[in-house]
A and B are shown apart, each in its own frame.
Chain A
Amino acid sequence: MAVYKRNYKPYEGRLTADWSRFLVPARYALETLFESRLLIGFMVASLIFPLFAAAIIYLHHNLGALEAMRISPSNLLPIDGDFFAAFLSVQGAYAFLLTAYAGPGLISPDLSNNALPLYLCRPISRTEYVLSKMAVLFIPLSCITWVPGLLLFSFQAGVQGGGWGWDHAHWAWAIFAGSWIWIGMLSLMAVALSAWVKWKLAASALLFGVFFISSAAGAMVNEVLSTRAGNILSLGYVIGMIWANMLQLPAKSTIFGELFNVRRGDEVPQYMAWTMIALVFGSCILLLNRRLRAKEVVS
């Protein structure tokens, strides 16, 4: 055997924090994502409703402007839980569309290119890899949900004064936590579908399918069994129930109720809604665990 003298030097410089490594793939993927003009246009469009909501808050506190526009204050949408529920609903829908556009292309290219071993033979685990892909969605989805939501809340608290912000802090929490539950669920579903379906278009369609088919299945169960429990199968309804609870709204005869088609007596228990969310999270994690392997075994 040849005798070798070890004469090379390994790297001895400092390293970045190991928790931050997952941001590397996320940053590259974000750069690619924001090269799309369609996405930029969509992001701009998604800010229309927050601007509209900001205008309503401004008008509530500017009687002069209302008089000039000949609008009665009683005709303005009140700034209450329903107001923020409407915000969450509209921005949540935007978030869903954005996920359907950007999510399906996150993992499938890596799988079809056999790139996973290149990630996983470095100090990055499968969990960190999935987190990095989800983080690609976290940023744009945050920009259209809880970030403008909290800005609106702060704006209202600022112009109202008198401790309004503290008195209604649970709305701020509902905007923040409710948005994150939605972002987490959408991102996880998107990466799970991206890992299973190679074609981006098919994965997008499947994401729509999951929401609409689950609603249809829920309606069928309601009809066949003469129950309202089928609503639990509708993911839109389920997240609506959770938001309503966080905003401490009764799920009836409100804007929220209208948007989510929740009628008096239709409500399902909160614990069932949370169970459904946990099931969705669990199923996605299971799917990812099965699909994301460093090596595919051909037998």
Chain B
Amino acid sequence: MNVAVEPKQDTVVDQPANVSSDQTVEFLNVSKFYGDVLGVNRVSLTIPPGITSLVGPNGSGKTTLMNLVTGLIRPSCGNVRVLGLTPDDPERFFREIGYCAQFDSFPKGVTGRQFVEYALKLHGYPPADVRQGAHDALRRVNLLEAADRKVAGYSKGMRQRIRLAQSIAHRPSVIVLDEPLNGLDPMARAETMALFQQFGEEGLHVIISSHILHEVDQISDRVILLSYGYVVAEGKIRGVREEVKEHPMQILVRCDRPALLAARAFQLETVVEAKLVEADGHRGHGVLIRTRDADAFYLSLNRIVLEDNIRLESVAPADDDVLAVYQYLIGSEGGGE
């Protein structure tokens, strides 16, 4: 159940680059209430092309946000514009939207091809284009061979892919995917994620809701963190992480003399902790640095390395992923799977 509670902190925003409003999905001070129940409150967002993930615990407002984008519900106040369009112009609006629900909702006895063709006919495609459109969509999701089998006989992964096919068949610009990785085996997940990345590379808006944070992390360009109906953070994951100042950044450094590096690093003002850690199975092979200012630390690291002739193997941020941001901002353990 959604409860109207103020977020723990102000929204962390990493603004997208300037993109005109007819190329973005815009939420302008949007609130949605279901009677007394809060869906989302005072949401202002601009979602540019690419892969954007909606992340948050159950009841945080992810589905409400997706339903607002797809025009399935209207905001109680504020405006939602998708590529400059609203559901008041349904013919053009819905042509731009592709929605992949998380539920199985296949008519009885229908084949995969018929299911996709059905969707295209609802969009008003004439018969010849229906066949071609369905063929193209089925090819994209790699289901051509099974297209004429009944959906009832499909595996869970195939069902997920046929849902995806029906959502992209009419060539929308904005694809909204509700838990698209649920129930997929690792191979199917990898294939599906690659497909999302392809969509993103083609300039489509791909809006994904998912609980599988490490996979969200791999494919997302941007993340929108939601909690209790409020957007608590949005933007590039790294940018969001940098804005969370109260949690020092963690940087893992692998080198040949970790003890010396740890000692030198600890003398720096911005470093709050330097800890020897196991890396690549060798105890003491790495140093985990916690710093309030990552950029300042990187500069100092250059100096230390040169002065003490330390041989670096790798330097990598250890907590600028979605999971860490989720834990810092929302507080509970993320990563449903």
Contact call A295/B67, Cβ cutoff below 8 A: yes
Q: Assuming the A-B contacts A15-B123, A114-B103, A123-B91, are A4 and B70 also in contact, with contact meaning beta carbons closer than 8 angstroms in the complex?
A: no
Closest CB in chain A relative to B197 CB, distance in Å: 10
Residues of A that sit less than 8 Å from B by CB = 1-11, 13-18, 21, 24-25, 28, 32, 109-110, 113-115, 117-125, 294-295, 297-299
Q: Quick one: which of A1, A8, A13, A115 contacts B203, CB cutoff 8 A? A: A8
Interface SS majority for chain A? loop
- Smallest CB-CB separation from B35: which chain A residue? A299
Taking A2-B221, A299-B1 as contacts, is the C-beta distance between A10 and B171 under 8 angstroms? Answer: yes
A32 surroundings in chain B (CB, below 8 A): 107-109
Q: Is B256 close to A, CB under 8 A?
A: no
Find chain A residues with CB under 8 A from B107 CB: 28, 32, 109, 115
Interface pair B122/A25, CB less than 8 Å apart:
yes
Q: Which of B93-101, B243-251, B294-302, B328-336 contacts A (4 or more CB under 8 A)?
A: B93-101
Q: List 24 A-B contacts (CB under 8 A).
A: A1-B17, A1-B221, A2-B200, A6-B49, A11-B95, A15-B125, A16-B125, A21-B124, A24-B121, A24-B122, A28-B118, A32-B108, A113-B106, A115-B103, A117-B72, A117-B99, A122-B122, A123-B90, A123-B91, A123-B93, A123-B124, A295-B73, A299-B34, A299-B37
Establish whether residues B222 and A1, one from each chain, have CB atoms under 8 Å apart when the complex forms.
yes
Cross-chain contact A125 with B50 (CB below 8 angstroms)? no
Complex: how many Å from CA A118 to CA B120?
12
CB distance from B94 to the nearest CB of A (A): 5
Contact indicator B173/A117 (Cβ below 8 Å): no
Contacts of A124 in B (CB 8 A): 122
Residues of A within 8 A of B185 (CB): none
B236 on the A face (CB < 8 A): yes
Supply 7 further A-B pairs (C-beta < 8 A) apart from A13-B125, A121-B72, A299-B1. Answer: A1-B17, A4-B50, A9-B171, A15-B123, A109-B107, A115-B103, A118-B119
Alpha-carbon gap, A113 to B106, bound state (A): 8
| A95 vs chain B, min Cβ distance (A) | 25
Chain B residues near A9: list those with CB within 8 A. Answer: 171
Q: B253 interface residue, CB < 8 Å from A?
A: no
Q: Which of B76-101 contact A (CB under 8 A)?
A: 90-91, 93-97, 99, 101
Give the dominant DSSP class at B's interface.
Answer: loop
B48 lies within 8 A of A1 (CB): yes
Closest residue of chain A to B170 (Cβ to Cβ) is: A11
What A residues does B50 contact at CB under 8 A? Answer: 1-2, 4
> Are B171 and A121 interface neighbours, CB within 8 A?
no
Q: In the bound complex, do residue B94 and residue A16 qualify as a contact, i.e. CB atoms below 8 Å apart?
A: no
Indicate if the CB atoms of B49 and A4 lie closer than 8 Å. yes
Whether a CB of chain A sits under 8 angstroms from the CB of B180 is: no
- Which of A10, A11, A109, A110 has a CB less than 8 Å from the CB of B129? A11
CB-defined contacts of B171 to chain A, threshold 8 Å:
8-11
Can you name the residue of chain A whose Cβ is closest to the Cβ of B128?
A13
> Is residue B6 within 8 Å, beta carbon to beta carbon, of the partner chain?
no
Within B113-138, the residues touching A (CB, 8 Å) are: 118-119, 121-126, 129, 133
* B101 lies within 8 A of A117 (CB): yes
Contact between chains at A294 and B67 (CB < 8 Å): yes
A21: B residues at CB distance < 8 A: 121-122, 124
Q: How far is the CB of B129 from chain A (nearest CB, A)?
A: 5
Contacting A at CB under 8 A, from B16-32, are: 16-17, 23
Question: B9: CB under 8 A from chain A?
Answer: no
Interface: B269 (CB within 8 A): no
What is the distance, in angstroms, from A129's C-beta to the closest C-beta of chain B? 10
Contacting residues, chain B, for A295 (C-beta < 8 A) = 63, 67, 72-73
Residues of B within 8 A of A299 (CB): 1-2, 34-37
CB of B104 within 8 Å of the partner chain: yes
- Quick check: B125 and A1 within 8 Å, CB to CB? no
Shortest CB–CB separation between residue B55 and chain A, in angstroms?
A: 17
| Bound CA span A114–B106, Å | 9
Whether the pair B123, A123 counts as a contact (CB closer than 8 A) is yes
Chain A hits for B16, CB < 8 A: 1
| A1 CA / B48 CA spacing, docked (Å) | 9
Listed from nearest, the 7 A-B pairs whose CB atoms lie closest are A6-B203, A115-B105, A294-B72, A15-B124, A114-B103, A121-B99, A297-B34
Partner of B202, one of A6, A119, A120: A6
Q: Are B73 and A294 neighbours in the complex by a CB distance under 8 Å? A: yes
- In angstroms, Cα B118 to Cα A97, docked, is 30
- Asked whether, in the complex, the Cβ of B204 is within 8 Å of the Cβ of A113, the reply is no
The CA of A7 and the CA of B198, in the complex, are separated in Å by 11
Residues facing A in B134-175 (CB within 8 A) are: 166, 170-173
In the complex, the answer to whether A113 meets B103 with C-beta atoms within 8 Å is yes
**Known contacts A4-B50, A294-B72; is-contact A123 B129 (Cβ 8 Å):** no
Given A14-B126, A18-B124, A113-B104, A8–B222 Cβ distance below 8 Å? no
How far apart are the CA atoms of A110 and B101 in the complex, in Å? 13
Interfacial chain B residues near A6, Cβ < 8 Å: 23, 49, 202-203
Nearest A-chain residue to B163, judged by Cβ: A118
Docked pose: A5 CA to B106 CA in angstroms: 35
**CB of B71 closer than 8 Å to a CB of A:** yes
Q: Which of B36, B72, B103 contacts A120 (CB 8 A)?
A: B72
**Which residue of A is nearest B96, CB measured?**
A10
**Closest residue of B by beta carbon distance from A12:** B171
Q: How far is the CA of A41 from the CA of B109 in the complex (A)?
A: 22
- Shortest beta-carbon distance from A176 to chain B in Å: 31
Chain A, Cβ-Cβ closest to B64: A295
Counting CB contacts under 8 A, is B308 at the interface? Answer: no
B201 within 8 A of A: yes
